[in-house]
Amino acid sequence: MRELHVDQVADAVARLVQEANFDLSDDVKRALANAQSLEEAPVGQTVLLQIVENYTIAETERVPMCQDTGVALVFLEVGQDLHLVGGDLKEAVNRGVAKGYSEGFLRMSMLNDPIERVNTRNNTPAMIYIDIVPGDRLKITVDAKGGGSENMSQLRMLPPSAGWEGAKQFIVETVAAAGPNACPPLIVGVGIGGNFDKCALLAKKALLREVGAPNPNPVWAARERELLEEINKLGVGPMGLGGTVTALAVHVEVMGCHITALPVAVNIECHSHRHKEVIL
Amino acid sequence: MARLHVTTPITDEQVRQIRAGDEVLITGYIYTARDAAHKRMLEDLAVGRPLPFDPRGAVIYYVGPTPPKPGQVIGSAGPTTSYRMDKYTPDLLQQGVKLVIGKGYRSDPVKRALVEYGAAYLVSTGGAGALLARTVEESEVIAYEDLGTEAIRRLKVKDFPTICINDAFGGDQYFAGQSQWVKPDAMVKPKPPIASE
């Protein structure tokens, strides 16, 4: 059985959190370039230009593109034939986060307790998601998720009678209510189905897809296009100042659900969508 | 829509010149404060302690910067979402604060307080922290150091770029800007300016 030392996981996480904050991924850059070609409002164009200028500075000077360097989301796809050795996997991930945030001069934004609110000063705890998959590799995906967009996210347990129209209404209303608060142009992650918690997880995982890549199911790919069109009719525009590009992409992930249920979750991501991955 | 240069401290006359939609470039000293610092400032006021800075004519910037790398004045320093400060803002405007900078919608009580006390709400581009940091020439922690990134810093800025969203006359640029671009068949219409009572 293939063995992998958890120290390698810690090192990879430490590197990925920094890369995510310094280097905007190519898929997001392409989506922003596309937005520049589509945006009709002059003020929207000005904002998009600032966003591009900003990520260029971040990349060149190795500084974070946004001061909110995020909560570290760490997704682990662990091959079922892989043996992780040398210690506790989750402890190693948190060690990697602490190291990466400290070495990279990233902001420590995590607290010990939601009511006591004392900063842990090492940006832990990380949010760790573990999936067991076939194979003997470990895929690590890191997303540095900002608080402003996360705060604008919503989940609703709709009645089945609401149907697609009801789901669509809720999703578009959520984006409209987020407006400038979530730093548009946005990437909108949507989960439909599952149960209360799986639905939220679907929405979060939808954000990890390459920006703009459609759902493999053509029916759902068409619904994603429909949502994007409705969202871009809102007029919110870049940073909410008015314009024709409110979202860069809408990604929907779906799952079967109970006969009583139609759960819908909307996880909103800002234009500084910082995600990196590696396979060990 | 005008392009205005203002220098701190901000006078009533300067505020009266600013209209929603104007580009406002700020030069001088501004003070950083976000959630935790606001909570403490209001606690200070409640017991009669002076604020960590003179609020008269002051500019507050809602930001929690990243730590500076060696050789940097400040790390990345873009705006945080303003509504979390809504609860505290009217009291600070009453103390004489003239400009507040963040991003996102404000509550109706804040919009009314801007009119009542003659102040304005400005925004800078969210997520442009590396770019905005270039306008900061000096940074010094002046209070609540234990709050880390949330401590109050005095920043010396040159032509810090903002846009006015809510002016001292009830103008609302989010509404005006979005109304210009919303499609007639949009499922949701732009959030209106101050709701009538």
Q: Which residue of A has its CA nearest to B131?
A: A54
Is B32 domain-assigned? Answer: yes
Assign residue B67 the CATH number of its domain.
Answer: 3.20.130.10
| Domains held by chain A: number | 2
- Our CA-based measurement puts residue A34 at a distance from the nearest CA of chain B, in whole angstroms, of 19
Average pLDDT on A160-185 reads 98
**End of a domain among A120, A145, A170?**
A145
- Give domain status of residue A136, yes or no: yes
Nearest-neighbour CA in chain B from A232: distance (Å): 8
Compute the CA torsion angle A148, B63, A24, B75 (nearest 10 deg). Answer: -160
Answer yes or no: is A223 within a domain.
Answer: yes
* A156-167: average pLDDT: 98
Q: What is the mean pLDDT of residues A37-58?
A: 97
Is A180–B130 a contact, with Cβ atoms under 8 angstroms apart? no
Range of the domain at A269: 148-273
Pick the residue from chain B with its C-alpha nearest to A44.
Answer: B177
When CB atoms are compared, the residue of A41, A51, A179 closest to B128 is A51
Instruction: Note whether residue B148 is domain-resident.
Output: yes
Q: Is residue A38, in this structure, part of any structural domain at all?
A: no
From the first residue on, what is the mean pLDDT of each consecutive set of 10 residues in chain B (197 residues)? Answer: 95 97 98 97 95 97 96 96 98 98 97 98 96 97 94 98 97 98 97 73
pLDDT in tens, A4-36: 999 999 999 999 999 999 999 999 999 999 999
CB within 8 Å: A107 and B66: yes
Cα separation, B67 vs B64, whole angstroms? 9
Q: Does the pLDDT at position A256 exceed 90?
A: yes
Residues B104-118: b if buried by 16+ CB within 10 A, e if exposed:
bbbbeebbebbbebb
* B65–A67 C-beta distance less than 8 A: yes
**Interface contacts (A, B; CB < 8 Å):** 182
Whether residue A123 is found in the same domain as residue A163: no
What distance in Å separates the CA atoms of residue B138 and residue B28, rounded to the nearest whole number?
10
Residues A95 and A165 in one domain: no
Residue B193 lies in a domain: no
Distance CA B30, CA B101 (A): 10
Q: Identify whether B187 is part of a domain.
A: no
Mean pLDDT of chain A: 97
- Which residue in A50, A148, A237 is closest to B81 by CB distance? A148
Q: Give yes or no for residue A134 having a pLDDT over 90.
A: yes
| Optimal mutation site among B80, B173, B188, interface A, most CBs of chain A within 10 A | B188
A42-61 vs A26-38: helix crossing angle, rounded to 10: 160
Same domain, A181 and A253: yes
CB A211 within 8 A of CB A273: yes
Q: Which of B72, B105, B163 sits opposite A179 (nearest CB)?
A: B105
Which helix (H) or strand (E) segment holds residue A150: the answer is: helix A147-150
Q: Note whether residue A259 is domain-resident.
A: yes
Please list, in sequence order, all residues whose beta carbon lies within 8 angstroms of the beta carbon of residue B182, skipping any fewer than 6 positions away. Answer: A233, A234, A235, B189, B190
Q: Do A239 and B69 touch (CB under 8 A)?
A: no
Q: Give me the pLDDT at residue B19, please.
A: 97
Is residue B196 a part of any domain in this protein? no
**Is B188 domain-assigned?**
no
Q: How many domains does chain B have?
A: 1
Tokens 């090192």 -> residue: A11
Percent of chain A with pLDDT over 70: 100
- Residues of B annotated catalytic, as ranges: 38
Nearest CA in chain B to A230: B186
Please check whether residue A40 lies inside any domain of the structure: no
Q: Is ipTM over 0.90?
A: yes
A245 → chain B, closest CA residue:
B181
Question: Which whole number is the average pLDDT over A95-109?
Answer: 98
In a domain, B177, yes or no: yes
At residue B153, the pLDDT reads 98
Both A109 and A159 in one domain: the answer is no
Residues in CB range of B66: below 8 A, 6 or more apart:
A63, A64, A67, A69, A105, A106, A107, B75, B76, B77, B129, B149
- Say yes or no to pLDDT of A90 above 60: yes
| Domain stops at, among A145, A168, A185 | A145
Instruction: Please tell me the predicted confidence (pLDDT) of residue B195.
Output: 66
The residue type of A36 is Q
Residues in chain A within 8 Å Cβ distance of B104: 148, 179-181, 240
- Chain B residues closer than 8 Å to A47 by CB: 125
Q: In this complex, which of A106, A242, A243 lies closest to B66 when CB atoms are compared?
A: A106
Side chain identity, residue B120? A
Q: Do A239 and B181 touch (CB under 8 A)?
A: no
Query: Closest Cα partner for B28 from B154, B117, B164, B143?
Result: B154
> Of A101, A117, A145, at which residue does a domain stop?
A145
Nearest CA in chain A to B63: A67
What's the gap in Å between the CA of B182 and the closest CA on chain A? 4
| Contact call for A66 and B187, based on CB within 8 A | no
Residues in chain A closer than 8 A to B81 (CB atoms):
147-148, 151, 181
In a domain? residue B192: no
Q: Is residue A278 part of a domain?
A: no
Q: What local confidence, expressed as pLDDT, does residue B1 receive? A: 82
Q: Which residue of A has its CA nearest to B68?
A: A105
Same domain, residue pair A122 and A246: no
E strand or H helix that includes residue A199: helix A196-206
Same domain, A155 and A110: no
**Are A133 and A157 contained in the same domain?**
no
Same domain as A141, residue A8 = yes
Range of the domain at B25: 3-181
Asked if the structure places residue A44 within a domain, the reply is no
Evaluate whether residue A176 is within a structural domain: yes
Residue A161 sits in the same domain as residue A253: yes
Cβ-Cβ contacts under 8 Å, A67 against chain B? 63-66, 75-78, 80, 129, 149
Cβ-defined contact of A271 to B127 (cutoff 8 Å): yes
Chain A: give the shortest CA distance to residue B149, in Å. 7
